[in-house]
Amino acid sequence: MLEQIKDQPILELINQESRRQIDELELIASENYASPAVLAALATPLANKYSEGYSGKRYYGGNHIIDDIENLAIERAKQLFNAEHVNVQPLSGSPANLAAYLAILEPGDTVLGLRLDHGGHLSHGHPINISGRLFKFVQYEVDATTGRLNMDQVRQVAHQAKPKLIVAGFSAYSREIDWAGFKSIADEVGALTMADISHTAGLIAGRQLSNPTNIVDIVTTTTHKTLRGPRGAIIMSTTKLAKAIDRAVFPGLQGGPHDHVTAAKAIAFGEALQPAFQDYARQVIANAQLLAEQLQAKNYDIVSGGTDNHLLVIDLTKQGLAGRQAEEALQKAGLSVSRSTVPGDQRPPLNPSGIRLGTAAITTRGFGSAEIKQTANWLHQALVNHADDNYLADIKQQVTQLGRRLPPPSL
């Protein structure tokens, strides 16, 4: 498809990024590689169509084929997650969360969400985010000693705040979530429940983590990350909330959906329904747990002491490194990570005390135990020699050799 691009400056930049993705390792927990089929769908004439409304109820003509595509995406998502209702139109994760809020809340309503520096997400009520500006979010935390959610503490906060909604979900929390525990607490205080599974949707679809769809009222997720689909999102809900969810997405928040992305979502859901995807999800977790063990053996502190999913957060306080310093050094070594706050972080968010690692993307490339052990060694060497650019360049050469041996499937 690239041969169709005659704009040389942008073509060269695309080629540079493609080479970077081959030659470097993506250890950013929110990133993955979409399949060639998913990428192909994004470059189809479906991008030309405008389809405000829903199947059979569009505000534009010529949408009978688009209706079939959207219906297929919905049916596959229902099957994948055992969901009663699915809206496949949200453009991304934060808009999906906002639409879910707008469906059931009024401005100023009280909501519970996990604190950002304890593993939550901006859209779970941070004051600078629209969620925190529109609604009164009360934040719960992880236990200061264990780094894990303490459901007794969540219950105490809920009974004090009396929220209308409790949000369970995370951006940098490495443990399994007790969905039933959140639902029980919500029932005690008369609140609705929402699960944001954006990070772990692929692991849930792959039957490796518990599924909240038949426990909570609303489930939101992005379709990339561990699910390996296109950039986008979906909202799942009980049938009772279906009309409110759909109205909140359109016309409440969005105009027309991106039909080429809807087709790519349908393809990704179809791929995730295959037995091989369960093997992938299982390997993602095994790789993350091995990576955590390898780093702990090298004297790194892992928040919560390990991981049940695809990500881990390293507290670098003991090493005397800040998150940005570590991120920049690792980038020079060809290892892409994201800086991350740790619970109770005393450093500013732009230069926090930790880094977040994820294994979804490298597992897609075929990484197993040997490659994970090598990656852990490179991470350690790069952090120890963070000020030595020549040493980091040597590591990058080794990383590139491995990257070219196990390239992403779409490159």
**Selected catalytic residue, list 200, 222, 262, 307:** 222
Give me the catalytic one of 23, 31, 49, 52.
Answer: 52
Q: Which of 117, 141, 196, 327 is catalytic?
A: 196
What are 26's two structure tokens? 């993506």
Q: Is 239 among the catalytic positions?
A: no
CA 227/CA 203 separation, integer angstroms = 8
- Encoded amino acid at 268, one letter: A
Marked catalytic residue, from 58, 76, 183, 225: 225
The string of DSSP codes covering 56-85 is TEESSSS-HHHHHHHHHHHHHHHHHHT-SE
Q: Which of 231, 247, 347, 373 is catalytic?
A: 231
For the record, the structure tokens of 1 come out as 């498809």
Give the helix ranges, DSSP H, for 3-58.
Answer: 8-23, 36-42
Is 282 catalytic? The answer is no
Q: Is 225 a catalytic residue?
A: yes
In the block, residue with structure tokens 């490194």: 321
Residue in 309, 276, 277 with CA at minimum distance from that of residue 291: 309
In the set 23, 31, 49, 50, the catalytic residue is 50
**What is residue 248's DSSP assignment?**
I
Q: Is 231 among the catalytic positions? A: yes
- What DSSP state is assigned to residue 250? I
User: Can you list the positions of beta strands (E) in 239-308?
Assistant: 301-302
Which residues have a Cβ under 8 Å from the Cβ of 152 and sit 6 or more positions away? none
- Cα 96 from Cα 86, distance rounded (Å): 12
Bridge pairing between strands 311-315 and 301-302: antiparallel
Burial class (CB in 10 A: 0-12, 13-18, 19+), 2: exposed
CB atoms inside a 10 Å sphere around CB 32: 23
Rg of the chain over Cα atoms, rounded to whole angstroms, equals 21
d(CA 15, CA 402): 19
The amino acid at 26: E
SS3 303: helix
| Partners of residue 45 on adjacent β-strands | none
How many residues are recorded in the chain?
A: 411
Q: Are 177 and 204 in contact (CB under 8 A)?
A: no
Read off the tokens for 82.
Answer: 């055992």
Q: Residue 344: CB partners within 8 Å, gap ≥ 6?
A: 117, 118, 144
Chain centroid, CA 72 distance in Å: 23
Please list the active-site residues: 50, 52, 196, 222, 225, 231
